[in-house]
Structure 1
């Protein structure tokens, strides 16, 4: 009697998944997979995955699809998130015990609030609870810690006091995109932010120094 053979999930209709060429492989997407996370995991870039799979500028992928993946390293000068060059940068200042400086009072509460929003959608002008834009997330996070920040990134760039990359502590603000985007530093070289429309609130590596226009230390 012939034994039944399990078949892999078929790709969604309309997606042309060609046989991988030399230097490529395929990955069957699982629930929760995102293009940026796959790029980071496999050492490539979002742009490379978009080009290989005919996605154009879209970052939408679905569980059950087969994604073509380059086995070569990401192009030099780009990071897996596709947001600038990926070069070694000075790490935040460490204490003699090897841990980061203690967070500012209230910073831990702001970070805890931001972590609880992970996975919620970017919403233009959003201040929660369903969705947030970048400055709305940061404003609400610090509001949870008892500190009222301005509503927009353009005003948050002047909030608190200036600090440096080497002295970042959890809760500090990282201003990028020529002053048009704000992220919340959470320690260990990472931030939480609401990237852009079509994306969700996510944790990401701290942007390279050349992409940052300011670091702000929030005080009560």
Structure 2
């Protein structure tokens, strides 16, 4: 049966190809038939183990810095209210509270006016008014040395008092040095100028004029600086002063300010 030989040859080749296709391949390309069987024996505890690598650290996300409250944010300016007392002026209050006349005018909607009245309420900066320790802002007076009255002072003091008395009834004028009107320091400056002594123009200069004295040793012609050194009067004896109190008032005689309101007594020598 020679004619069946080619048919048998083809059938044998098909069986060979079918057996090759049934071989299982592993992921790495090796045949499962070629792998040795897995061992079921327990693991040897004395056998060295492969080193364990530490896990990779996770990156920390960057967080932008947040503004610190109270430091990076702007703080609004704090203000407080004060009740005006006789003798108060915008200039004196501005110096006492670490401000300026223009700032107080703007804070209180005064425009260009400098008129303020005792008993009214004025808005002033509160942070500068009371520095650390709670002490009020005042210029430091000169070292306290007791002044001694003498004949030269008595003569000069009498001339200064006489000039001041002649100005009674004249109006208070901001920055006024006469002859039509005066402010407090302008009156005192002109009074002692009449006696031949040139004093500083403002209370901030007059607080260093002459020598310091005390309340019990006051004599006519001495300077009495009060209300944070923002006001000055000329002592005339018997516990009274002549002064130019404030806008809207006139040069007048008044009692000495309370000791707690006085910052310095100055003795002037002619």
1:117 alignment partner in structure 2: 167
Residue-by-residue CA offset, 1:32-51 (whole Å, 9 max, x unaligned): xxxx9xxxxxxxxxxxxxxx
Answering whether residue 246 of structure 2 is matched by residue 202 of structure 1, we say: no
TM-score by length of 2: 0.44
Q: C-alpha distance in 1, partners of 2:245/2:185?
A: 10
For the 8 Å contact 1:139–1:149, the answer to whether it is kept is: yes
Answering whether residue 199 of structure 2 is matched by residue 149 of structure 1, we say: yes
How many residue pairs match? The answer is 125
For the 8 Å contact 1:101–1:169, the answer to whether it is kept is: no
Q: C-alpha distance in 1, partners of 2:232/2:223?
A: 7
2:231 alignment partner in structure 1: 181
SS at match of 2:158: helix
Answering whether residue 265 of structure 2 is matched by residue 215 of structure 1, we say: yes
CA RMSD of aligned residues (A): 2.1
How far residue 208 of structure 1 moved from its aligned partner, in angstroms, is 1.2
SS at match of 1:179: coil
Structure 2 CA distance for partners of 1:101 and 1:147, relative to 1, 3 Å: closer
Unaligned stretches of 5+ residues in structure 1: 1-35, 37-56, 60-99
- Which residues of 2 match residues 1-220 of structure 1 at below 5 A? 104-220=154-270
Structure 2 CA distance for partners of 1:175 and 1:113, relative to 1, 3 Å: same
Structure 2 CA distance for partners of 1:147 and 1:101, relative to 1, 3 Å: closer
Structure 2 CA distance for partners of 1:111 and 1:153, relative to 1, 3 Å: same
Unaligned stretches of 5+ residues in structure 2: 1-85, 87-116, 120-148
2:70 alignment partner in structure 1: none
Is the helix fraction higher in 1 or 2?
Answer: 2
How far residue 207 of structure 1 moved from its aligned partner, in angstroms, is 1.0
Residue-by-residue CA offset, 1:9-40 (whole Å, 9 max, x unaligned): xxxxxxxxxxxxxxxxxxxxxxxxxxx9xxxx
Q: C-alpha distance in 2, partners of 1:146/1:216?
A: 17
Q: C-alpha distance in 1, partners of 2:222/2:246?
A: 20
How far residue 101 of structure 1 moved from its aligned partner, in angstroms, is 9.0
Q: C-alpha distance in 2, partners of 1:155/1:117?
A: 22
Larger radius of gyration: 2
Q: Show structure 1 runs of 4+ deviating over 4 A.
A: 100-103
TM-score by length of 1: 0.54
For the 8 Å contact 1:175–1:215, the answer to whether it is kept is: yes
